[in-house]
Amino acid sequence: MAALIRGVALGLWAVVLLQSSVDGRLDLLLRAAFHPLVSSAGGVLLMLAVVQVLVGVRQWGQGADPASRQERRLSMATALIAALLIALPANPSFADLASQRPADDTGNDTLSFVLPPAQRSLTDWVRMLRSQPDPQLFEGDPVRISGFVLPMAEGPPQLARLLVRCCLADATPVGLPVRWPAGEPLPRADQWLAIEGRMAIQNKQLEVVPERNQPIPRPARPLEP
Amino acid sequence: MTSAVLTRLNTAWALFQGLLLEALPFLLIGVLIASLARWFSPGGAWLRRLPDHPVAGPLTGAALGFALPACECGNVPVARRLLVGGAPVGTALGFLFAAPVLNPIVIASTWAAFPDQPWLLLARPAGAVLVALGLALLLRLLPEATLLRTDLLEERRLNQPLASVSLLERRTGVIGLPEDAPPNLPSQLPSSWQEVLRHGSREFLNLALLLVAGCAVAALVQATLPRQWLLAVGGAPTLSIVALMALSLVLSVCSSVDAFLALGFAAQVTPGALLAFLLLGPVIDIKLVGLLSLLFRGKGLLLTAAGSGVLVLLIGQWVNLWRL
């Protein structure tokens, strides 16, 4: 019986890891480099679970059950946690997370090559502006970016992305100022938007002037390396 | 108000899952290595031949890290296996505290994150060895019975030579038989693959439960404590070290990736604080406390936390004097 419970608990943990690999949960939580590691661990756990279940079935027939009550409780507790993880997927608010973090300040992150303006992502733009801080160079350039709305302590909200080096725990925001259309309500925090427009200079700073501004669902891979 | 709380809880739940999913594979690797060690050398005879010298022991343990490219979560089950197998405490502690840094993956990731700071590439492993050595010397002051958990100690006693353990200290097992072939002792019998798998599975579930508790606390603290508070004192020599030490405790990310994380705020903090962040996390953090409690009793855990804090602070101060 104990081996059977242990097998079920291991099986549920295997499901947590394997399901996360296929349902997009990992894309939301971890950098892509770690995904194969998680899937492989899920596979190994699944094999362990099958062996434990087979052993459990055989022991049940023989009446051999060497495990203590404490061990059974441990297996059941871990199985319960795994079941919770399966049942409750992660749905973080990027704006809430970013409000707790300082903006990314990776000074030596420069672009190794430069894309045409309309093909640059929001992160490409931020890195480009870091390596070439003169705003005059980019005035009038076309912009086609997407990101989530990040309210700022001072000033209007920015369009932002989260940079992740390992997992959501180390995510830091990068954002671009946006000149939101006058007379319209500001977009709500965490709303994902696709913006097409041009770069303009305001108070010696570059900002995006949207010509088209469309709400979009959160992308399948919302985190940027 | 309620919506804000729900949003924050959602964020904490996601942080918890991120931390857990990242750490679980490393934990499994550690358990598998420990299980293999148990299969190939159930009695752990070779472990007892490791040096017991106060300095050579921890250094040998630290060097073993090159054979295990895992982070601190994976190291705990292996260190437990070393202790259970009868390895000298100093050697096992040297491995436990230094190996999360002294392994090829962590050294490579540090180099990849800071290619323009060669001093860090030398200072991190050297600092990790110093911390491990200091902690091993410090923890040797405690008797094994005060330092190690009772269940671990009982299993360890069975694998220690009779010459080094009094009969009264062996609370289980059979007395009066040749040391090499004691019958029916749970820690020495199981070379059958079924028994090894049973033990490995149980150990994984046990450690996973502790890891879950650690990740939950770390996620809650991260979701409620603004990181700006910790980084606000980045320029002050001593305060920046203390702040980055606190940040490493809270963040609880694995040593194999913490260098990339440190890159994000390296420009805002002093060199000593940067090194302190990279040294303390692999030894202790919120996520690890639960796992370490599987090895140490309360005093051992407290001494580890306090000792590592003081040692890392001193190293950070010295680096600031040297680099600033």
What is the CATH classification number for the domain harbouring A108?
Answer: 2.40.50
Mean pLDDT over B202-220 rounds to 86
Which of A40, A55, A105 lies closest to B267 in CB terms?
A105
pLDDT at A142: 92
Distance (Å) from the C-alpha of residue B52 to the closest C-alpha of chain A? 34
Torsion sign over Cα B212, B217, B218, B223: positive
DSSP assignments along A151-176, one per residue: --SSSS-EEEEEE-SSBGGG-EEEEE
Report the chain B residue with the minimal C-alpha distance to residue A72. Answer: B202
Boundary residue ending a domain (A42, A65, A91)? A91
pLDDT at B42: 58
pLDDT class for B178, splitting at 50, 70, 90? very low
| Residue B240: Cβ within 10 Å count | 26
Of A32-46, B112-126, B150-164, which range is least confident?
B150-164
pLDDT at B137: 95
Domains identified in chain A, total number: 2
Contacts of A104 in chain B (CB under 8 A): 264
Q: Label each residue of chain B as H, E or C.
A: CHHHHHHHHHHHHHHHHHHHHHHHHHHHHHHHHHHHHHHHCCCCCCHHHCCCCCCHHHHHHHHHHHHCCCCHHHHHHHHHHHHHCCCCHHHHHHHHHHCCCCCHHHHHHHHHHCCCCHHHHHHHHHHHHHHHHHHHHHHCCCCHHHHECHHHHHHHHHHCCCCCCCHHHCCCCCCCCCCCCCCCCCCCCCCCHHHHHHHHHHHHHHHHHHHHHHHHHHHHHHHHCCHHHHHCCCCCHHHHHHHHHHHHHHHCCCCCCHHHHHHCCHHHCCHHHHHHHHHHCCCCCHHHHHHHCCCECHHHHHHHHHHHHHHHHHHHHHHHHHHC
Helical H segments across chain A, by residue range: 2-22, 25-29, 35-62, 69-87, 94-99, 122-131
Residue in A165, A174, A191, A218 to test binding to B, most B beta-carbons within 10 Å: A165
What is the C-alpha to C-alpha distance for residues A172 and B265, in angstroms, rounded to an integer?
A: 10
Sorted by sequence, the CB contacts under 8 Å of residue B30 that are 6+ apart come out as: B68, B70, B73, B74, B75, B76, B77, B78
Residues A188 and A145 in one domain: yes
Report the chain B residue with the minimal C-alpha distance to residue A76. Answer: B205
Of A161-170, A196-205, B169-178, which range is least confident?
B169-178
Q: What is the pTM of this model?
A: 0.78
Which of B17, B227, B267 lies closest to A85 in CB terms?
B17
What is the C-alpha to C-alpha distance for residues A126 and A132, in angstroms, rounded to an integer?
A: 10
Q: Domain containing A144: what range? A: 95-224
Residue A56 has pLDDT above 60, yes or no: yes
Residue type at position A120: R
User: What is the helix (H) or strand (E) element at residue A201, kind and residue range?
Assistant: strand A192-202
Residue B91 lies in a domain: yes
Q: Which residue, chain included where needed, has tokens 């309500």?
A: A185
Mean pLDDT over B70-74 rounds to 73
What is the C-alpha to C-alpha distance for residues B268 and A165, in angstroms, rounded to an integer?
A: 18
Which of B19, B198, B228 lies closest to A102 in CB terms?
B228
Residue B191 has pLDDT above 60, yes or no: no
Contacts of A163 in chain B (CB under 8 A): 264
What is the C-alpha to C-alpha distance for residues A216 and A194, in angstroms, rounded to an integer?
A: 6
Residue B171 has pLDDT above 70, yes or no: no
Which of B15, B116, B231 lies closest to A169 in CB terms?
B15
Distance (Å) from the C-alpha of residue A32 to the closest C-alpha of chain B? 11
What is the C-alpha to C-alpha distance for residues B255 and B105, in angstroms, rounded to an integer?
A: 9
pLDDT at B297: 94
What is the C-alpha to C-alpha distance for residues B58 and B49, in angstroms, rounded to an integer?
A: 14
The answer to whether the beta carbons of residues B68 and B27 sit under 8 Å apart is no
Pick A181 or B235 by higher pLDDT.
Answer: A181
Contacts of B219 in chain A (CB under 8 A): 169
The burial of B268, by beta-carbon neighbours within 10 Å (0-12 exposed, 13-18 middle, 19 or more buried), is given as: middle
The predicted-structure confidence for A64-111, as pLDDT tens digits, reads as follows: 555 677 788 888 999 999 999 999 999 889 998 888 777 766 555 555
The burial of B239, by beta-carbon neighbours within 10 Å (0-12 exposed, 13-18 middle, 19 or more buried), is given as: middle
| CB within 8 Å: B261 and A170 | yes
What is the C-alpha to C-alpha distance for residues B195 and A38, in angstroms, rounded to an integer?
A: 26
Residue B48 has pLDDT above 60, yes or no: yes
Residue B238 lies in a domain: yes
pLDDT at B200: 86
Strand partners, A169: none
Contacts of A106 in chain B (CB under 8 A): 263-264, 267
**Average pLDDT of chain B to the nearest whole number:** 82
| CB within 8 Å: A96 and B254 | no
Mean pLDDT over B44-54 rounds to 80
Q: Which residue, chain included where needed, has tokens 């995006």?
A: A208
Residue B29 lies in a domain: yes
Q: Label each residue of B43-71 as H, E or C.
A: CCCCHHHCCCCCCHHHHHHHHHHHHCCCC
Is A154's Cβ below 8 Å from some Cβ in B? no
pLDDT at B181: 43
Residues A210 and A99 in one domain: yes
Mean pLDDT over A41-61 rounds to 88
Q: What are phi and psi of A223, to 5 degrees?
A: -90, 145
Residues A185 and A86 in one domain: no
pLDDT class for B167, splitting at 50, 70, 90? low
The answer to whether the beta carbons of residues B30 and B78 sit under 8 Å apart is yes
Residue B184 has pLDDT above 60, yes or no: no
Residues A153 and A197 in one domain: yes
Residue B179 has pLDDT above 60, yes or no: no
Pick A108 or A206 by higher pLDDT.
Answer: A206
Is A28's Cβ below 8 Å from some Cβ in B? yes
User: What is the helix (H) or strand (E) element at residue A150, kind and residue range?
Assistant: strand A142-150
Which of B22, B200, B228 lies closest to A167 in CB terms?
B22
Residues A17 and A80 in one domain: yes
Q: How far is CA A74 from CA B195, B202, B274, B297, in A?
A: 18, 9, 39, 20
Of B86-95, B176-185, B214-223, which range is least confident?
B176-185
Residue in B9, B21, B24 to test binding to A, most A beta-carbons within 10 Å: B21
Quote the Cα angle for B145-B167-B183, to 5°.
Answer: 105
A100 DSSP 8-state letter: T
Residues A122 and A217 in one domain: yes
Residue B148 lies in a domain: yes
The predicted complex's ipTM stands at 0.90
Residues A146 and A161 in one domain: yes
Residues A150 and A110 in one domain: yes
The burial of B49, by beta-carbon neighbours within 10 Å (0-12 exposed, 13-18 middle, 19 or more buried), is given as: exposed
pLDDT at A81: 95
Boundary residue ending a domain (A39, A69, A91)? A91
Is A88's Cβ below 8 Å from some Cβ in B? yes
pLDDT at A111: 58
Q: What are phi and psi of A20, to 5 degrees?
A: -60, -30
Distance (Å) from the C-alpha of residue B175 to the closest C-alpha of chain A? 23
The answer to whether the beta carbons of residues A222 and A31 sit under 8 Å apart is no
What is the C-alpha to C-alpha distance for residues B212 and B290, in angstroms, rounded to an integer?
A: 9
| Residue B176: Cβ within 10 Å count | 7
| CB within 8 Å: A30 and B231 | no
Is A153's Cβ below 8 Å from some Cβ in B? no
| CB within 8 Å: A168 and B265 | no
| CB within 8 Å: B11 and A96 | yes
Boundary residue ending a domain (A25, A56, A91)? A91
**Average pLDDT of chain A to the nearest whole number:** 87
| CB within 8 Å: B267 and A91 | no
Q: Domain containing B82: what range? A: 2-171+193-323
Residues A140 and A126 in one domain: yes
| CB within 8 Å: A90 and B261 | no
A–B: how many Cβ contacts below 8 A?
157
Q: Which residue, chain included where needed, has tokens 């299969």?
A: B39
Contacts of A100 in chain B (CB under 8 A): 222-223, 225-227
Distance (Å) from the C-alpha of residue A140 to the closest C-alpha of chain B? 30
pLDDT at B186: 44
Pick B131 or B1 by higher pLDDT.
Answer: B131
pLDDT at A166: 79
Would you say how long chain A is, in residues? Answer: 225
| CB within 8 Å: B10 and A92 | yes
Residue in A5, A29, A163, A170 to test binding to B, most B beta-carbons within 10 Å: A170
pLDDT class for B143, splitting at 50, 70, 90? very high
Report the chain A residue with the minimal C-alpha distance to residue B259. Answer: A165
The burial of A191, by beta-carbon neighbours within 10 Å (0-12 exposed, 13-18 middle, 19 or more buried), is given as: middle
Residues A77 and A99 in one domain: no
Residues A126 and A163 in one domain: yes
Residue A193 has pLDDT above 90, yes or no: yes
Domains identified in chain B, total number: 1
A119 DSSP 8-state letter: G
| CB within 8 Å: B265 and A10 | no
| CB within 8 Å: B18 and A101 | no
